[in-house]
Amino acid sequence: MTNRLVFGTVQLGMAYGISNKIGKPDINSVCDLVKTAFDQGITRFDTAQAYGDSEEVLGRVFDRLKVGAQVKVYSKLHPKLDCCNQESVQKSVDDSLFKLGVERLEGLFLHHEDQMRFWDKGLSAVLRNLCIQGKIKSIGASFYTPQKALVTLEKDAIDMIQVPANILDRRFEDAGVFQKAQERNKKVFVRSIFLQGLLLMPLDGVPESMKQALPFLQQIDQTAHAMKLTRQELVLGYAAQEWPGSFVVFGAEDSRQVLDNVRAFSSKAVFKFDKNIFKNIPENILNPMLWPKL
């Protein structure tokens, strides 16, 4: 099961997540995190040019652990990059490879769906050329809206997509994105599995500005309790069962969380419950870009 898990590293380059209490970890802590994940069979790592110094930190850790030749790294073009400038795109990928200390990216995503507007203005050509050069294996894009994901899946040169989904958020599933990706033989990477940590927060720890999420977290707790599971086991186990052909991106702040996530994802529990109880969730809960500034 761990071959479907992808270690998300945004928190290695910046303070990230509504539940993050420790901020950006130091290099020794990152080493422990990456080593624990690697020892559990997790060899895929998700990063981005816009994740602070995440790429550089990962590169230093890969070198220290001597695993650079064994990992598969996915990065994302910076959302503010001039995607019409082929030299800028080429240089940004070269910079990522240098920072990460790897010869090739397993995959390169466009960080934001709006970057697809440059696809036929030279972006697709430079990305294909990077593939020919052996610097990228697969090309993809990250999405916030199902409609744009459905349109992009029609493009032959797109190998993969990254979308938000979790036990509360089934917008992409309901719109047929997962089904179409399967039909088109495209890989799907599911992010926001914990909704930036909100889905695992203690009820009394949820900020006042996000109190509208409490009824749904309580419903998750009730469902988990009825199934004799922890909330974490329900959320991760649901993802493992609901999207069996997809990769699941998860983050962690310490090694214990890595181990707990692996155990929960690998659970053999059968998840049978009425999914309609988590239907019509307001978008201002599902989309962190709409959350109040904390």
Q: What is the pLDDT of residue 55?
A: 97
Pick the CATH number of 2-290 from 3.40.1030.10, 3.40.50.300, 3.20.20.100, 3.90.650.10: 3.20.20.100
Contacts of 129 (CB under 8 A, 6+ apart): 90
Q: What is the pLDDT of residue 293?
A: 75
The one-letter code for the residue type at 85 is N
- pLDDT tops 70 at residue 22: no
- pLDDT tops 60 at residue 20: no
Residue carrying the six token digits 């799907």: 188
> 74 forms bridges with which residues in the sheet?
46, 107
- pLDDT tops 60 at residue 18: no
Q: What is the mean pLDDT of residues 73-94?
A: 97
Question: Is 249 in a helix, a strand, or coil?
Answer: strand
Tokens linked to 138: 């697969």
pTM here is: 0.95
Residue ranges of domains in the chain: 2-290
Answer for the pair 294, 18: CB distance below 8 angstroms, yes or no: yes
Distances (CA, A) of 283 to 41, 235, 280, 290: 35, 19, 9, 8
Question: In this predicted model, which residue has the larger pLDDT, 134 or 14?
Answer: 134
- pLDDT tops 60 at residue 19: no
